[in-house]
């Protein structure tokens, strides 16, 4: 397994706000970073200004960060590859990356979403790509997630996240790579649980935004976050995740941040919907991708596949993809049959 001193250069794939923030964090530590983006004009602007003015204005990049559009140039020879493209683009981009990897390359997913067609998480998408390769080797994949707005990481605000991988040595190596005096990384081996949390929290954040847009108060938001966490946990445990993951940084921590923070893209989409705008209008006013819109469809189908009851997810799906009125969706949630909070079988 590759050690921290053997990583050398790191490739960050995706020059949005989060990719840029992670590249800056590593570059400020003295790590040589290749930052890949597909838009030549955008990358040229970052190279010229040493700043991503479109997605992360005000965060100056150190000389160690080298923006580029040549994917092979950025990936070849990198000891660690960090995927930060939108979830719907991961498969296509990773197909191009796969031939450039070596058996010791660490692969870090910082993507939050579930693929619509296959219902696979992002590490599963990458594993699927690797396994179909004739020269498949035992690559190490993991996921980095937690309550972390890109702009605050770029400002060096104290932040804590989790990196999950089934290989403990790899997890500790990535932990060392990303940890700084202001960015604390914990480790876990629950990849499934962390990825599900990272995806589902965006769905609940859209629902929270809808409630805020409708003018509901803090009572409503607290109830939604709590019951949303119960739904995420129910699905996660059903598919083999560890229950404690959902009370950790990637679970409760990221859920609270995304449902309450004004910087949350997904809460913003919900807010616009609750204020009466259509989904198309809400998305047209966004500069960055709100992953929760596509993820709602994936999670809805995942819950149906396993027969897991998820009423908040159901109503959010109906609003986004079924045209249901926001206020009607909230009313139907409240008018469901009364239940125990903790089933008697668990008491």
Catalytic positions, please? Answer: 201
In whole angstroms, give the CA distance from residue 47 to residue 197: 34
* Contact between residue 205 and residue 179 where contact means Cβ atoms under 8 Å apart: no
In whole angstroms, give the CA distance from residue 62 to residue 120: 36
Checking phi first, is residue 62 left (phi over 0); if not, alpha (psi -120 to 50) or beta? beta
In whole angstroms, give the CA distance from residue 27 to residue 29: 5
Residue 249, classified by CB atoms within 10 Å of its CB into exposed (0-12), middle (13-18) or buried (19+), is buried
DSSP notation for 157-199? --EEEEEEES-HHHHHHHHHHH--SSEEEEEES-HHHHHHHHH
Residue-wise burial string across 143-176, b where 16 or more C-beta atoms lie within 10 A, e elsewhere: bbbbbbbbbbbbeeeebebbbbbebeebbbbbbe
What dihedral do alpha carbons 137, 32, 37, 114 form, nearest 10°? 50
In whole angstroms, give the CA distance from residue 331 to residue 329: 5
User: Could you tell me the CA-to-CA distances from 268 to 111, 169, 322 in Å, in that order?
Assistant: 19, 38, 20
In whole angstroms, give the CA distance from residue 38 to residue 124: 23
């Amino acid at each position: 397994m590759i050690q921290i001193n053997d990583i050398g250069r790191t490739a960050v794939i995706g020059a949005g706000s989060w990719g840029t923030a992670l590249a800056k964090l590593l570059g400020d530590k003295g790590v040589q970073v290749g930052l890949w983006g597909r838009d030549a004009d955008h990358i040229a602007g970052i190279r010229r200004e040493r700043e991503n003015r479109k997605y992360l204005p005000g965060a100056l990049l150190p000389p160690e960060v080298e923006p580029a559009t040549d994917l092979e140039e950025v990936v070849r020879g990198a000891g660690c590859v960090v995927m930060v493209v939108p979830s719907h683009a991961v498969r296509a981009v990773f197909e191009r990356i796969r031939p450039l990897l070596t058996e010791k390359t660490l692969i870090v997913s910082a993507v939050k979403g579930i693929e619509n067609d296959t219902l696979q998480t992002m590490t599963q998408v990458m594993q699927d790509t690797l396994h179909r390769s004739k020269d498949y080797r035992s690559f190490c994949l993991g996921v980095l997630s937690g309550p972390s707005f890109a702009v605050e990481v770029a400002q060096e605000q104290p932040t804590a996240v989790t990196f999950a991988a089934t290989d403990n040595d790899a997890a500790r190596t990535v932990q060392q790579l990303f940890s700084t005096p202001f960015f604390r990384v914990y480790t876990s081996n629950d990849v499934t649980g962390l990825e599900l949390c990272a995806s589902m929290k965006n769905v609940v954040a859209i629902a929270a935004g809808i409630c805020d847009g409708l003018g509901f108060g803090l009572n409503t938001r607290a109830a939604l976050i709590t019951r949303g966490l119960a739904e995420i946990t129910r699905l996660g445990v059903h598919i083999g995740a560890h229950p404690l993951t959902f009370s950790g940084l990637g679970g409760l921590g990221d859920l609270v941040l995304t449902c309450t923070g004004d910087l949350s893209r997904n809460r913003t989409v919900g807010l616009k919907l609750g204020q009466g705008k259509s989904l198309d209008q809400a998305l047209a006013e966004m500069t960055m991708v709100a992953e929760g819109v596509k993820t709602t469809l994936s999670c809805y189908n995942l819950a149906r596949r396993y027969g897991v009851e998820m009423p908040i997810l159901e109503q959010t799906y109906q609003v986004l993809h079924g045209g249901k009125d926001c206020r009607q969706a909230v009313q139907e949630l409240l008018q469901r049959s009364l239940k125990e909070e903790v089933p008697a079988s668990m008491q």
